[in-house]
A and B are shown apart, each in its own frame.
Chain A
Amino acid sequence: MGIRFVLMVNKQGQTRLAQYYEYLTLEERRALEGEIVRKCLARNEQQCSFVEHRNYKIVYRRYASLFFLVGVDDDENELAILEFIHLLVETMDRHFGNVCELDIMFHLEKAHFMLEEMVMNGCVVETNKSNILTPIQLMDKTS
């Protein structure tokens, strides 16, 4: 299935966005996020951006105070996921203009919409920024 979840967590470990591509209960999510965040935040810059956790592999990338964590299956191409994160950030950047943690917090639904355009069923389906943003911009215009 590829991508199992996408998390955005700030450096205090607070969740800023969470999207799961398989259903987990509230408790499971809570526990998982806690464990993963603890694991990833403890790592330093030199260490590689991939961490194994239970049966997930987590690919993470840090932008200023925000960590992007993507949980993937074992056979996923980690480097590609790393770049997928970057593509997501670039896309948000194009939409919000110099995106920051607060943008995501204030427009949580929009960040979700972008993710919805990019990932379906745990697969990366769209990587064309204008294709990703068109529906969101159209929606903005009409509302």
Chain B
Amino acid sequence: TLKLICTTTAVQRKNVGASGPEKYTEAFIKKQIEEFNLGKRHLANMMGEDPETFTQEDIDRAIAYLFPSGLFDRQARPLMKHPTEVFPEQRKIQWGEDGRPFHFLFYTGKQSYYSLMHETYEKFLNVQKHQDQLIAQDLPLQKEKRNLAGSRWLTKIELEEMLLEKVSDDDYSRFIQLLQKLVALPCADIEEKYIQKFSKEVPLQLQKVVIEPLQHDERGVAFSTGEGKRKTARATAVVYDNGTGKITVNGIDMLHYFPVLQDREQLLFPFQFLDRIGKHDMVCTVSGGGRSAQAGAIRLASAKALRSFVTEKEVEFMRQAGLLTVDPRVKERKKPGQEGPRRKFTWKKR
């Protein structure tokens, strides 16, 4: 199956907590926690470190040292983590000794979801009442627009973890629609605290990338390296400062290596975007892939190398121009029963 790329870990995590009522009693979990703490101190003593300041990273390193494992699957290797991470939070029994359930919505099947919808709608009506009061008193409504770009709603899995029960896709989208309606009202600032429970901040994309500082070679010329890939081609580029705009690929001049105009355009794209065509020299090595894939790989490598020469704003512009993302498109595999990835065999009536 296709390996999932360009997704967050939040989407890929499975929610074990919502699968059913608790399998582990509270006493069992308490015992596990005590055993874990004891074991942590023993491990610290064994490694010769201070038991008081032994962090989770130290535990991981110690276990990897004491129990080396050659297994490929990370989840199959020996693991020592706090029991709350290993045994996920689960719902307690929802009914008392006489068999009567505690929550009034128990027999709907999705009690926490419906109670959540109930609460959210109550807040919505609250805000509307407040709005009507302001209109009745002829006071101006607050029209400050909430910044939607810096925050995102909880994903379905995070909502399931919060409610500790399974939420279907339709239910989730209904909940998000209700939240959006609530936020769209002008006086929604009253319920800001409630809304913040369901929204998470998204960090700026730019901050996820680390820009390396410039290096200097023997003659004092500043240079920086970058790596790029496209389909099966892998390229490394070294961009030198104070150059004449010469580009060498695998020891051959770019005019001879790429006879097609489109590939040369792609090589010069990052330089042309930053208006630095005659100012840099480039030496690159590339292997694998075809002619267009090699050009794309070198383009990505040179764009990554140019990040060190340029201000942060221009790096952001490069990212928005699509120069710094790895192109994930690869050749689709052929499927059994078909002639190619999409083409089916000729249909014959008999």
Partners in one complex: no
